[in-house]
A = this chain, B = another copy of it.
Amino acid sequence: MVDKSLKVLKDILRKEGLRFTSQRQSVWDEIRGSHEHRDAEDIYMCIRNNDVRVSRATVYRTIDVLVKNRLVRKMEVGDGRSRYEPRLDDEHHDHMICEETGDIIEFFNEELENLQEKIANDHGYTVVRHVHQLFVKPFPE
């Protein structure tokens, strides 16, 4: 599993004509190791707490490569800090954000996906990507 993820990273770097470095591996390992939706500062600090020397600039630069090559997904929740999550299985999902707890719940609904594609088509467009976020509150009681 670790070997496979390492190979995935190396293949991407080769494809992009980039060199394999310990910093790039650290960033990918850090993101890959958690299913949470974390900001760059959190990823940066966690890597450093593992006694790995890396700079913010390199974290940001590496994330860009990972996002471009679909190993990582970038999302904005509206607070000015981008969040990142690994795309391990690469199955699409959208997000429900609880405004009381900050919890992020993932969901996928085929019907919803088809419907939005249909709506775009009716306007003469194809959907390239989409953002669908439900800001929610738990039911009372």
Residues of B within 8 A of A116 (CB): 112, 132, 134
Q: Tell me how far the C-beta of A128 lies from the nearest C-beta in chain B, rounded to whole angstroms.
A: 5
The answer to whether A130 and B120 touch across the interface, beta carbons within 8 angstroms, is: no
Identify the stretch in A2-10, A63-71, A103-111 within 8 Å (CB) of chain B at 4 or more residues.
A103-111
Asked if A19 CB lies within 8 Å of chain B CBs, one says no
**Which single residue of chain B is at the shortest CB-CB distance from A136?**
B125
User: Using a Cβ–Cβ cut-off of 8 Å, how many residues does chain A contribute to the interface with B?
Assistant: 31
The answer to whether A135 and B124 touch across the interface, beta carbons within 8 angstroms, is: no
Measured CA separation A132–B134 after assembly (Å):
8
Residues of A within 8 A of B (CB): 76, 78, 96, 98-99, 105, 107, 109, 111-112, 115-116, 119-120, 123-139
